[in-house]
Each structure stands twice: as C-alpha cells, then as structure tokens.
Structure 1
Amino acid sequence: MAPNRIHVIAVLMASAAGVLATVPASASDRQVYQFDLPAQNLGDALRTVAAKAGLELYARADDVNNIPAARLQARMTAREAIERLLAGTNLRARFDKGAVIIRGRPTQKSESDSAAQTDIVVTGSRIQGGKVAAPVTTVTSADIRKAGHADLGEVMRSLPLNFAGGQSPGIGTDQGSANTNVNGASSVNLLGLGPNATLTLLDGNRLSYTGVNAAVDISAIPVAAVDRIEIVADGASAIYGADAVAGVVNVRLRRDYNGASVMGRIGGATDGGGFQQQYNIVGGRKWTSGGILATYDYLSNNPVFASQRIYAAKMASDATLYPALTRHSALVSLNQDVGDLVSFTIDSLYKNSRQQIIQGFVSGQSHFASGADALAKTTTFSIAPNATVKLGGDWLARLVTAYARDDTDIASNVYSAGAIISAGTRRYKNSSISIELGAQGSIGELPAGPLRAAFGLGYRDVGLNLVGTNAGITLQKFSKHRDNRFAYGELYFPILSPNQRSRFGRELSFSAAFRYEENGGTGSVALPKIGVIYSPVGGLTLKGSWGRSFRLPTLYQQYSGYAAVLDPATSYGTGLPTGATVLWLGGAGPNMKPERSENWTISAEIKPAALDALSATFSYFNFDYTNRVATPISSSAGILDNPIYSSLVTLSPTAALLQAEISGATVGLQNAAGQPYDPADVVALVDTRDRNVARQNFHGINLAVRYLARLPHNRSLDFTLDGTWIASDQQLLAGLPYVDLAGTIFNPPHLRARAGVSYSTDMLSLSGYANLSSHLTDNRTAAVAEFAGPSTFDLSAQFKGGNGFELGATISNLFNQKPKTIVTASAYQTPFDTTNYSPLGRFVSVSVRKSW
C-alpha cells in the first residue's frame, strides 16, 4: 500500500477513534426550549417542535394531519412538548437516535391499522420496520435549502460519496467514454462505479433512462417537491434488481405538505456567463383520507463561453464550457385512502428541457469558421399508480406499477467558412413499463420481536428507439426492448432487543434476501444478500453486509451495431507479406451477459446517549466488479505479435467468415487499406468489439460526523463532516496489468471531503462549507503530470422575515478557484478535467420565497 494511502486511512481512523472516545455511559437530553405555538394542525405543530430540537420526524401523514392541536405555551424539553401535543390522541412517540417516530397505539378495533402505522419503511429493505445493515445517508430539504442548491443534480455533486463524472451538463469534450453530456441531464454516480451502476428511485418507483447510458436524470425531479434523499451506498440488487450495483438513491416527496409557496432565484458567475434564473411554485393540501402535492419549477442557465475563461484560450472563442440550458419540470403526487383497508398513491413527473452546446475546431475562432453546434430537446414523463391493501394482522400487500418515457431529439450542424457543410440528427426514445406485486408482514414471534418477511414478483420492459441521420441519410437505426421477470424474498430476524436487557448486548438482528431474474437477451441471475446489526451497548451500532449485484448491458451497448474496417496489416504486426490486410471490428459485440459485482460493507454508527447532539458513522466498503462491458484493447498496434491478445485474433480467416462479419456491420465494409478488398489478402480478423471482459475493484472508507450544539435563546451551531477515501483499479483483459482509476484524470480523486458549519436562530441561518479533494494524476501520456484537486469554499444565508417571507443568498467557490489545465491535442478538446472541476468559478445567487 502506498504511503499516501496509509496516511489517509490513518487520518480517517483517528477521526473515528476520537469520536468513539467521546461515548459516555448514559444520560438524556434535557435541553429546555421556550415554545409559543398557536392552535393548529397536529402535524404542523410536531414539525415545528422537531425542527427546533433538531430531530428527524417520521410519521404517516394521515396519522397527524387534520387533527387539532391546542396552543402550546411553555418552557419544556422537546420530548415533553411532543408528549403534550399527543395527549388525548391515539398516537405515541418513540425517541431513537436523534429521531422521533409517531405511531398509533394498538387497538382491538383496528389491529391492521396499527400494524400499518407502526414503523417506517427505510430505503434498502422491503420490510416495513426492518433495519438496513448498511449506512443510510439522508439529505433533508432543510440541508438542500441551507446549501442553496438549485436542483438535485447540484445536491448529488456536492456529496463526497458521489462522483460528478458520468452524465452531467458541465461535462466537456474528450473526457473519457463514460463521461458524456447528451442532453443536459444529471445522473448519480455513487463511488465512481459508473452513472448506470446506481439505481435512482422516486419514492420507491423506477424512472425512465435518459440518453444512451441507461442512467436516470435526477435533476428532472423538482427540488421544491423533495422532503429528503435517502442514499444507501451498498450493493442492493437482491432487494431492487438491476443497476443497484453501487447502491440506491431514493428521492422522498413532501406528501404531508399543507400550504403553498413561491420562490424566485437569480445568480451568475462573477467571471462572466452562467446567468441563472429559477422560479418555482409548490402547493399541497391534506384532508382526512388523503392529500395532494403539486410543484412546477423553471430554470434557465446562460452558457459559459471559452472566451470568458483565460484557461480555455486554446479553444474556439465561442465554444461552450457550460451549455445554454432551459428546463421546465412539474410533479403531481396524490394519495388517497378508500375505506380502512385500501390506499392509493399516484406520482406523475414531467420535464421539458433544451440544451445548446457549441464546439470549435480552430483555436480563437468562431465555430462558424470551423466547428459544430447541437440543440438537444428532451421530454420526460412518468406516472406511477400504486395500491396498498391491508390483509389482516400486520400483513400488507402492495401493487406497484409505473410507466415512463424519455425522448431526446438532437439536431447538429457542422460549419466551415460560415456555411453548413453537414447536418445531422439523433433521436433517443427511452421507455419503461413495470408491474410488481408484493406482500410483507410477520410470520412468527421471537423473544426479541416479530420475525418478518417480504416476498413478491414482477415484470419490467425497457426499450430504446434510436435513429441517427446525416444529410438526410439514415446511418444508424434500431428499436429494441428487453423484458425482465423477477421474484424476490426477504427475511428479518430480531435476536436481541433492548427490552430483553441481555448481557450479550443491547440489540442483534439478521437479515437475508434473495432475488431471481430472467432478462431477455442476456440470461438469468440469482442474487443473495445477508446482513447483521449488533449493538453491544447503547449509542454504538455495528453493521455488516455481503451481497451480489448486477447490471445489464445497456441496449445501446448491445444493439448499436459495429464497424468493419479493412486496414493495412503493417500497424498490426511485423513480418507480414507485402499487401497484407487486416479486417478490424469495433463497436457493439455479440452475446453480452450481465455485469456482476460482489460487495461487502462494515460500519460503526455512534450516537452517545449522554451527548445526543453527536452522531457519527464510519464504514469500509469493497466492490469486486467483474464482467464489465468494455473495449478489450485501447490500441490495436502490434496486436498480432502479442499472445495476450490471441483471443481477439483469428488468423487466416475464411472468406465465408469475413463475409459474414462484413454483412453484419452497420454500413458494410469500410476500406481504409488503399487497395481493393481481396479475402486472400486478409491475414487476420481482429475483433475489438465491446464485450464482458473488464474487472474492477473499488474499496475505501466513508466517514460522516454531525454535532448539533444547542445555544441559549433558541440558537444552534451545526457542525458536519463527510469524507470518502476510495481506491480503484481496472484490468481490461486477462493477462494485462491492473491500472489505477481513482486518483487519475476523469476519475474520482482518492479523497473528497465536505465540512460545514451552520448557525441558526428562529429568523436567521448562516452556513459555510469547505469542499476538499486530493491531487489527480494525468497519465494519458508518457510525461505523467500531477495537479491539485479542487478545493472550494461556499457561503449561504437565509433570513426569515414576517408574513412567510424568506430571503436567501449563496456564494459558491468563494475564492474563485480555477481549473488546472491539462494537455490537449486540438482546440476541440476541453483543456481541463470537467468531471472534477466546474467552469462556473465563483457563483453568486439571491432568492426570495413566500409561503402561506
């Protein structure tokens, strides 16, 4: 292990040890607050008390809304205030690890009702009340507002455990094949495993892919509709199926919102360009048996041109470092109970966006002289009707259905001397339809609690329709669908509970899950997952999980076609006859199978009873990712002389084999040999088409610490520290050496950290954040170069005035740190690492909000 890696691990472990050392034996939070709450809805009163005390509130909306709460005017603890508000209701509160959970008391009249209300559903398990044997990171709407983020793409890019590479509007040209900007979408890329290796859900429902990389655009979800984001950075395919290799991100909606608000925000980069406008409106209404939430959000962003940034002087003057982008998004969520046994939810999402990018081929000139531009128009729509039925006892059945589509149309022009010399179009139409029926409940009683189970089955169909043209001629066209049939089961075994007062520990539980899937065109998979949670003493919880996950090849990877090119044999090997040729194949390969991952995670969660303001999580993760779809060789030079590549080479191919491969190519034979094609001259067939060949390993450490200090007069100081250290490498083909991924250009740095401090009163919130990264290595050429990673500082402030008005201001990248330039070969290439640096520079924004 390299010395710098040992140093990083030592620092993080020392931090964790320092936290562990603060765990006292026992105490309780006796902080007293002055409450002066008017008579109001019980849900609103509970949320006010929880916010004042810094507690996470979990409750079913229909349990606490539309129940009147008397005026509360007294000095008391948060626990006393909540218990007084609940007096006289059929509700009770459970306080646990900085959270308060409101649930109904069991009654003989409605045993099934109490079962449905007893516990919350946590991302990472299908069992209501089950606990997840991996760390769960939660980002609340209050966290998002404090940081001044405009959309969920910005939220995810700020988190150390997420890599900004993949699909993102700031991605430049020639930044690695996995990093693209097709239509201005933002995808999640947990731990840098890839934008299509993280499953993104909207309140548990799948969304349609966008573009060609089988990734979801999380920025399509209006940020004003979000209650919180739950992130489990642990393989979860045994729970959720395909794509959850690195984990799952579940965006939770504000289903209990009752009121309305409007917001306006403007901002811009102090170096020029990037002027941004955002406006949104959100309204919600609750009634006894249901509620509705509706949100609309508009965002526009002016481009940042190369001429506005000194470090991009080698590019064309009007090349865009950040695109012109407009986005309209809307969300409607409805929930309704029908009698005492049945409830429905319907979530619908719509997005319409436009993105324009400009690329130039000559330094300092307009792209009209020599260059290209492209306008992408995207429409996204999804609807997810779900139904839950109480079956008796504590058993629930749930029918989950979803339909989604994402259509992107791109029109591009190539210019020379002010004239269009080529015009093309690309159309990507993604679709998804799914139905799933599941049930969960208790199957027995153990001394520590009920033995719980969940099981279900379902069907999903994913499609991609692609058409590419140039000068009116269709160059690429296919329409493919993949169907998926699955069944799953999950068990939760409580072994010890706090009520048992066992000498072996405070709490112990095991979980196990299994999933079987049949996937059209790629084969079947069987996926196990096990987990254990152990709390030896109060305030300390140890977790461990092991499982297998998978990702299916994208439809584009599998069906986009391949090229057959006839080349001179001289660059492929030595000692070959004069006039010898090679038929080279590149593109989508046949017989692709699922990518496989085996992962394990161990973690420690610390919540001292005597220091309830402190919480910390320390975890270690390891992902062994095999059968990754990749191009098996980076260069064909000398391939015939190297036995390592013998599996890619067919010597002295027959004329029939050559003709079969040429006939299957998208445009037939492309002759670059400088001589007529003659099968007798072809000495080798070199097949470098994509296939399940690469192996990757990702391992590292996550650390999350929070300390909330209570100050007199309802003031507080909130300290946070989040950090991720990661090491990853890749073997492209058996027999080749492993090469580093993390710490190299266009990949995550080894270390990312975000430290924050917030000062809050009843009217004012001031926040500051430091974003730090370790150095990066540019190893693309023989002259290896190292440069410092981005280190930026952000400030944010919110002021609550009277009558529901709130003013906000944010400064991102306070000291205007600029990207480090890298070696480029042409004006077309972006001269810095856009996966780790932003071209916006210092960005200042102000906002105003009015709530009713």
Structure 2
Amino acid sequence: MTALLTPKRSKPTAISMAIRVAIGAVTVLGIPGVASAQQAVQSLNRVEVTGSSIKRLESETSLPIEVITLEMIEKSGVTTAEQLLGQITANVGAIEEKQQNTDTQKNSGFSGANLRGLGVSSTLVLLNGRRMANYAFGGQGVDLGAIPTAALQRVEILKDGASATYGADAVGGVINFITRKDYQGTQVSARFGGYEEGGGNRSQFSGATGFGDLQRDGYNLFASFQIQKQGQLRAAQREWAKTALRPDVGSVGTSTTNWPSNLFTTTAASSLLGSVNTFGGKCQPPGSVFSGGFCQFDYQATADLVPESTKINAFARGVFAINAKNNLFAEVARSENDAYYRISPATFTSYRLTANGPRIALYYPKSGPFFPATYTSMTTGLPVNTPATAAPNKQDIYVAVRLLPLGQRERVQDTSQDRIVVGAEGEIGGWDYSTALNHSVSNTTEQYNNGFVYGNKLGPLITSGVVNLWGDNTPEVMALMQATQAKNVAGRTGQATSDSIDGHVSKELFQLAAGPVAAAFGFEVRRENLTDIQSAEAKSGLLNNVTSSPDTIATRNVKAVFSEVHVPLAKTLDLDFTVRHDSYDSGSIGSSTNPKVALRWQPSSEVLVRSAFGTGFRAPSLADVSASGGVTSSSNFYTDPERCINGVGPGCKPGPIAIRSGGNPFLKPETSRQFSLGLALEPGNGLSATLDYWLINKENVISPLSETLISSNFAYISKYVTRDAADPAYPGMPGQIIDILLPVDNQGGRNVSGLDIVLVQRAKLGEWGKLKTTLNGTYLIKTEEQLVKGGQYFDNLGRYANLYPTPRWKHNLSADWSFASWGLTLTNKFQSAYRDALASMPADAKGFVASVAHGTPGSISQDVASYSTFDLQVGYYGIKNTRLKLGVVNLLNKAPNASNQTGYFRGFDQSVDATGRYVYVDMSYAF
C-alpha cells in the first residue's frame, strides 16, 4: 500500500496529495467526495498554493488547507458558493442572502463566509489568488454570489491566519476559488428542483468551453456561463416559520402596529389602550393575531423566507505563451443578481408634510365617521368605552396602522460585479514570477416597488377620517390609498472598487545538506473606493419606513511589501518564515508588520507533525470609518434603567428601542495572534487520521457596540442615548429614550480555539466497487469576547449570542460508493445542541406573555436540540459523455428546531437550512 505521508521530496504518487489534504497541511472537507489522495496531482511540476508565494511540489506545503475539487462540488449537490461554504464546519455564523430579507436594509442581498466565527470581514475571499471588490452595501466582505461556480476547478480554504501573506482581512483564513486552466472541450448542464412542501423552485443552466493547448498551440481560451432562477418561498409555506408568535419557546415576535389599528391615548407605546375588533369580533387575518389581550400583527406570517432572484455569472480566461517559459494572461468576470425582497406590510404611525420637516403623530379625528365607540380592553378582554366619546369632550385618538390593504413591502435590488485582471507569469533568470493589474468593481442599486407610501399623502388622508382603520373600505377609498404608494422609486446606490497592481518572485537560492533554500519577495499597491448614496426621495423623510442617512464617500490607498523563506533544517524538518508590512494612508490605521513561522516535521511516511505561529491584523473597512448608518428597532424588548428604579417608574414596561448605527473615523486596526499544532497518521489498511489544534486571540475587535449592553452595561452606553425632554409628572427622572447610538468601535478581545478532526477510510469492495467514508468535524474549546474594552469576557460557547449560535461540535459524515457506472453519495450534516437565547416567560392559558427584558431576572433559557440531516445523490454515468444525477437534500424532511432566536424571523433555529426536503435532477453532456 502506498503511504499517505510520502517521504519528503519523493515523487508524488496518486495519494501523495494527502500530505496537503489530510495532514494538518490540508484538512479533508466533510462533504461528498472530499479532497483526498486519489485526486493528487501526479507530476513533478512546481505549483503555487494558497498561503505561499514560493512554487514547490504540492506534497511539500505545511499549511492547513482544505481542498474541494470539481468532482466533490458536483457530488455535494450545491450550486452556489454560499451553499458550498455552508457545508464547511469551520464556517460559523456566515451571512446568507436569505437572512437579509428583513426590514433592516443595511447589507441586503449579501452572503459572506465567516471562518472561525470571527466575522465576514476577517475572512479573505480570492478568485485565482487575487482580491475582489467588497460588496457595495456595507463593504464588509466579498459577496459569494459573485463567484463563477460554473468555472471552478477547485476551492482551497486556508484555515489559518494569513496576514503575513495577504495582509488585512485574512485573520480568520483565506478562501481561494480557482477556475479551470488548460481546459479543452465543451460541457453543458441543466438542473431542476423543487420542495416537497411547495415554493422556492429552482432551475439552472450552465455551460463551459475551452480550446487551445498552451504547449502545442501557444494559447488556451476558456469561458463559462451560468444562469440560476430561485423562486419565492413564503414563510407561510413552512409550518415552523409561518408565525412569530411562539409562546411555547417564550418568543412573541409580534407588533402593536396592526390592522385593524390599535388605539393609544398618547404617542408613547406605553399608552396602548387595546384593539377595536369590527371584523366579526376577531383580529383580521392574515397577520393580525390575538396575543396578550389585544390584536397584534404577526409580521412573519406575511414575509418571504427566501427571496425570488435571478443570478447570472460569466467568466472568461485567456493564456498566451510568449515563449516556453513565459505567458500573458487575462481574466474577465461578470456577475448579476436581481432579487425581490418582500416583507410584511408597512407600519404607519407618523409622517412628515414637508421634506425633513417635523414628524406628525398619526391620529384619527373625533369627527370621523368610523370613530370607534368602544374597544377591547387588553387587560380584561371586554368591550370598554373609548375615552371621552361623548360630546363635547370627544377627542382625537392616536393610531398605529399596519397597511395590510396595500400588501407586502417589495424592494428590488440589482447587484453586479465586474472584474478584469491582466498579467504575466513565468520564469526569468531562474526566478519564478507573477504580476498583474486588477480592476474590480461591485455595484448595487435598490428600488422601492410596492408597499412604501408617501407620508405627506397618506397622513392627511387618514386624519381626514375618510379611511376606515377598523373595517372594509370602498373601492374608491382603496384607490385613494393606492395612489399614495411609491412605485419603482430609486432608493439607494452603492459602488465599491478595488484597483491594484501586485507582483512577486521566488527562487531556490542555494543548497543545504537537507535540500534547497527558497525565497520569495513581493509587493502590492491597492486603491479602494466606497460610495453609498441615497436618492433625494429617500433622504426627504417623506417615504414611510425608509430611514434617511448621510451619504458615504470614502477612498484610501494601501501599500505592502512581503517576503517568504523556506529552509530545510534537516531531511525531515522544514522551516517556513513569512513577513509582510502594510501601510494605509487614511484615518488612524497607520502601518502594521506581521510575521509568521511554520515548522513541518515528517519522521516517517506514516507520521507528520506541523505547527505555526503568527500575528495578524484587520484594518477597519471604509464603511466602518465612514458610514453614518440608519435607524432600526432593537431585536429585544428592554426597560429604561434610568426611568425604572427598583422596579418602579414609567420606564419599567419593556419595549423596543430605536437603534442608530454609525461609523467611527478614529478606529484602529484589530490585532491578532494565531497558533496551530497538527498531527497526522496513516496506520495502513486505507485509514488516515488528522487532528489539528488551533488558537486565535484578537484585540481591539472592530464591531458595532452590542445591543445587549442596554441591559448588561447601560452605564457604558449612556453617553450615546438621546432622550426627550423630561416629563414634569416624573420629577428627577430624564425624558423617554428617543434612540441609542451603537457605533462601530474598538471593543475588547475575542478568543477562539478548537480542534479540527478528520478520519478517512478507503475500502476496495472487489466486484462491488469502492467505498470511501469521511468524517470531518470541528470541536470548539473556547469562544469568548469582551463587549467593551476592559470589560468582562462573555462565554459564547455552546450558546446563542450576538445574533448567531456557536454549537460546540459540527461534523459532516459522508459515504461515497462507486460501482460500475453508478455512484451513490450519502452525507450526514450534524451540529450539537446549544443554549438558546434568553426568553420571556411562557404564555398563560389566555395567551398573555410576561415580557421580560433580555438578561434580567425572571428570564428563562432552554436548549436548542442537536440537528442532523441526510443528503442523498445517485448518479448514472453509463451513457457516453453524459452524467445523470438524482438528489435529495434533507432526505428525511427534518424541520429546524424550535428556538427563541431574535431577529426578523423567530421561533426556529436560523443557523440551519429552514426550507425542508428538496429534490433535484441534474443532467450534463460533454462534447
């Protein structure tokens, strides 16, 4: 049997790649067909791998890289980069596009990777080893929707800090998407799929073609195209997502802004009287539900779980030989994503008559023909006379309206990314080199299509008394309401650009007794720009449910130099040392120098040990230092500590608080230290095992101040609180909270550590073919963070915190069986149980829920159960040049577990796929 851990510098065999794939040098991916020795490159050609600038034999690298080949991607059943990275156990708390379908529009349409749970801005995403522009809205990272998946040959995931090689953004690791090279031929494929429970149907068509042999013809041209259509999936189409009213888990995600409208004596939410039920004595469906003694709006029941979208990706690459050792190359990439985000009908509680004029509280006039004589008491559930309904004391009443008759709010978002790279690579005078110009730009536009109204039109209509807020309206009145809507109105435009020139050279300098000493030297000069501009109408304040915020226009320049040296200290021991210096010309970032040292010891072909230590940094993004942000509602309900003393006072009733976000021009870079230690064994009989320990400590973490500080450390954020004038009725107390600013800040530290575990068993079954079983798992040992510098550390391990859970254990277990012309892959995806978010007390028999502020005495907590699903794919390859596949994702139709997680959607675990069983057919033909 050929050993997995081949001796150093021996000729690579068919399984020598596992030194990079399975031995702490490359961790095996726990999805079907995980990268392993069978897919090794079987030549002595030196190549450049992710995380190093020195060309070497692939078996020599000492970096923890996880490799996913084209075959594995096809067997996994995924069709997008987002789905692919969602199956990586080191990807914790990633941002998915469907999660952005909320009433907070800051990063809508974005999907990003999050290695080690350190944030999407700490994971660097590359295409063919070079950067892409960050997403235009928010500018925190590369949108995975821009990756041309139809062009991919493999994906390399470096699960170690790489600031010493790539600079900022690589603290958590690097994901390098590598396209096909030297491809010749044409392939077309089509896929169709749907959900058993309806909604969300998907279809895809893709093609790839390449021609020209670089060695024979002096050129190679390659191009790919892919179009994907994603159907709308409504929350109401899934049992676990159809309502945010889940008293069984202590979650009440409903709103007092309702249709029919609730009544208020003042503009304060605490002055709620109750409901007026003229629809047969019941709350008006869909959306309006009875909870806590009055009608509330169940906004989740009217929202989309997955947005409708059309994605197009095109990629082309050409390589032209100058001579036998030098080539010119060019890459052109274009991606488009047109998405429709539909959420609950708009709220309407106040309006402006003039642009940016004073807000006017919405009321129904005492003279209106629909003025309610009685309402349903929220405390007794019995009819009660509306205050002062009898003349001459009759008075106007304040109302909070949900515009259910106007339908869902709908935003259309068009996102595109263009990228052009032109460069040269080869060898001159014994030096390997690569240099390129890189222009990358991301554009995003947002448009309001339905459900958003002009307050200066609808407000006077309601206050005139014409509109019945507690019953049906005539067609004439409905036409008047429809005419107040904003139709196809531009809302926001963003653009992020990255222009750079880079280059590096490498060479074996001289020989030692143990082997050659090699070195690399390189540079990068980059200019980044970000603009995020609202339309005049969005800024005017006249559009309801649209927050006005100042424009973001920012630019900066980055310069870097780096070097790397590889030294064979002994026949079995290698040393790699890398260092990089980055300099920024804007803000208070300054410059940073980061080294990294790695050791690789291979005493035998069955054992390999490796270790690495380095420092890293992350510069604040242009959005972090420039964006002014907007206003959203808090995820939880809170009391006001300064107006609720010992449980007594006007601020003791929990409620939502307006949260303002904003950038900070005085931010300093994050700094980090990383350490890893790995062991790989191959005892024989087709079994291989790896165990890697990793540790990352970060300081000056860049993040918006956490909302949980409202309850855990209000004194710290009191300086950011804006209040109304003091109420004479409560002497000595401040006025009500208007909003709280939670800006991006340098928080304290964040410490994470864990183990990556891989077990691979390969078995030959004789006439029954071959079977490979792979277990790939990540076990977290520590994950803790400070919410403020110098404050206490909060343990997030095995619990829900900061809007996503951190399960202690995640794994993918796959069995890949090949037999004659058939292939079968069964994959199990598992994550362990974790402690849920703190919840309110359960509802009583009448549906009343005792709301308790997050983190205060009386809150309860529960466990979210472990979650396990199975995916199955069967392939038939017996027809020449044809591949037929039938697959089922979530074979057993496992529903997500119940959870009290906060956010727009409630009641279920949002860290897992919440769409249900999905069946697809895939057909491809090559010629």
Q: TM-score, normalised by structure 1?
A: 0.76
Q: Rg: which structure is higher?
A: 2
Partners in 2 of 1:805 and 1:100 — Cα distance? 24
Tell me the amino acid that sits aligned with residue 788 of structure 2: L
- Cross-structure match for 1:357: 341
- Cross-structure match for 2:182: 256
- 1:325 paired with 2:309, answer yes
- Cross-structure match for 1:616: 689
Partners in 1 of 2:805 and 2:709 — Cα distance? 24
1:515 maps to which of 561, 565, 580: 580
The secondary structure found in structure 2 opposite 1:557 is helix
Percent identity between the two aligned chains: 24
- 1:761 paired with 2:686, answer no
Q: Does 205-214 or 453-462 show the bigger shift?
A: 205-214
CA contact (8 A) 1:590 1:691 kept: no
Name the CA shift for 1:398/1:637 in 2 (closer, same or farther; >3 Å).
closer
- Cross-structure match for 2:114: 189
Partners in 2 of 1:641 and 1:508 — Cα distance? 54
- Cross-structure match for 2:65: 136
CA contact (8 A) 2:700 2:789 kept: no
- Cross-structure match for 1:778: 836
- 1:466 paired with 2:532, answer yes
CA contact (8 A) 1:165 1:747 kept: no
CA contact (8 A) 1:198 1:247 kept: yes
Describe how 1:84-163 pairs up with structure 2 within 5 A.
101-103=41-43, 118-129=45-56, 131-163=60-92
- Cross-structure match for 1:448: 514
Partners in 1 of 2:869 and 2:337 — Cα distance? 29
Describe how 1:379-778 pairs up with structure 2 within 5 A.
379-393=416-430, 395-412=431-448, 413-415=450-452, 419=482, 425-469=491-535, 471-473=537-539, 475=548, 476-497=550-571, 507-519=572-584, 520-521=586-587, 522-561=589-628, 572=642, 587-608=662-683, 610-611=684-685, 613-632=686-705, 634=707, 642=715, 645=716, 672-673=724-725, 688-713=742-767, 715-726=769-780, 727-745=782-800, 746-778=804-836
Partners in 2 of 1:773 and 1:625 — Cα distance? 25
Q: Does 791-800 or 629-638 show the bigger shift?
A: 629-638
Displacement, 1:649? Answer: 6.7
CA contact (8 A) 2:835 2:864 kept: yes
Q: Does 685-694 or 458-467 show the bigger shift?
A: 685-694
Partners in 2 of 1:141 and 1:584 — Cα distance? 45
Partners in 1 of 2:500 and 2:205 — Cα distance? 33
Displacement, 1:336? Answer: 1.8
Partners in 2 of 1:215 and 1:706 — Cα distance? 33
Partners in 2 of 1:191 and 1:524 — Cα distance? 25
Displacement, 1:605? Answer: 2.1
**Which structure has more strand as a fraction of its residues?**
1
Displacement, 1:825? Answer: 8.2
Displacement, 1:832? Answer: 2.5
- 1:306 paired with 2:235, answer yes
CA contact (8 A) 1:208 1:406 kept: yes
Gaps of 5+ in 2: 20-35, 244-298, 348-401, 454-477, 541-547, 633-638, 650-657, 840-858
What are the superposed Cα offsets for residues 536-575 of structure 1, whole Å, 9 maximum, x if unpaired? 221211110011112221212211126899xxx9854899
Displacement, 1:424? Answer: 6.2
Partners in 2 of 1:741 and 1:824 — Cα distance? 14
The secondary structure found in structure 2 opposite 1:311 is coil
Displacement, 1:833? Answer: 3.1
Q: Across the two proteins, how many residue pairs are aligned to each other?
A: 710
Gaps of 5+ in 1: 1-21, 29-48, 59-95, 105-117, 498-506, 651-660, 662-668
Tell me the amino acid that sits aligned with residue 543 of structure 1: R
2:127 maps to which of 202, 205, 208: 202
Tell me the amino acid that sits aligned with residue 122 of structure 2: A
2:883 maps to which of 793, 806, 825: 806
Partners in 1 of 2:624 and 2:4 — Cα distance? 56
CA contact (8 A) 2:5 2:608 kept: no
Partners in 1 of 2:5 and 2:64 — Cα distance? 24
Displacement, 1:769? Answer: 0.5
Displacement, 1:472? Answer: 4.6
Displacement, 1:641? Answer: 8.5
CA contact (8 A) 2:662 2:741 kept: no
Q: Does 212-221 or 274-283 show the bigger shift?
A: 212-221
What are the superposed Cα offsets for residues 10-50 of structure 1, whole Å, 9 maximum, x if unpaired? xxxxxxxxxxxx9999999xxxxxxxxxxxxxxxxxxxx99
The secondary structure found in structure 1 opposite 2:747 is strand
Partners in 1 of 2:899 and 2:18 — Cα distance? 48
Partners in 2 of 1:523 and 1:368 — Cα distance? 54
Name the CA shift for 1:241/1:26 in 2 (closer, same or farther; >3 Å).
closer
What are the superposed Cα offsets for residues 354-385 of structure 1, whole Å, 9 maximum, x if unpaired? 1112111599x996546522111011111111
- Cross-structure match for 2:372: none
What are the superposed Cα offsets for residues 82-132 of structure 1, whole Å, 9 maximum, x if unpaired? xxxxxxxxxxxxxx965654547xxxxxxxxxxxxx412121111111744
- Cross-structure match for 1:503: none
CA contact (8 A) 1:169 1:181 kept: no
Displacement, 1:707? Answer: 2.1
Displacement, 1:783? Answer: 1.3
Name the CA shift for 1:197/1:709 in 2 (closer, same or farther; >3 Å).
same
Partners in 1 of 2:165 and 2:875 — Cα distance? 39
1:843 maps to which of 912, 915, 918: 918
Displacement, 1:688? Answer: 5.0
Name the CA shift for 1:239/1:817 in 2 (closer, same or farther; >3 Å).
same
CA contact (8 A) 1:448 1:495 kept: yes
1:373 maps to which of 393, 400, 410: 410
Name the CA shift for 1:789/1:672 in 2 (closer, same or farther; >3 Å).
farther
CA contact (8 A) 2:321 2:327 kept: yes
Tell me the amino acid that sits aligned with residue 154 of structure 1: Q
- 1:796 paired with 2:722, answer no
Q: TM-score, normalised by structure 2?
A: 0.70
CA contact (8 A) 1:55 1:99 kept: no
Partners in 1 of 2:778 and 2:70 — Cα distance? 23
Displacement, 1:752? Answer: 0.6
Partners in 2 of 1:26 and 1:266 — Cα distance? 42
The secondary structure found in structure 1 opposite 2:551 is strand
Displacement, 1:626? Answer: 1.4
Displacement, 1:224? Answer: 2.6
CA contact (8 A) 1:489 1:515 kept: yes
Name the CA shift for 1:850/1:368 in 2 (closer, same or farther; >3 Å).
farther
Displacement, 1:170? Answer: 4.6
Tell me the amino acid that sits aligned with residue 629 of structure 1: I
Partners in 2 of 1:402 and 1:701 — Cα distance? 37
Displacement, 1:590? Answer: 3.1
Q: How much is the aligned-residue C-alpha RMSD, in angstroms?
A: 3.8
Describe how 1:204-283 pairs up with structure 2 within 5 A.
204-210=129-135, 211-283=137-209
Partners in 1 of 2:694 and 2:914 — Cα distance? 32
CA contact (8 A) 2:748 2:791 kept: no
Partners in 1 of 2:98 and 2:156 — Cα distance? 23
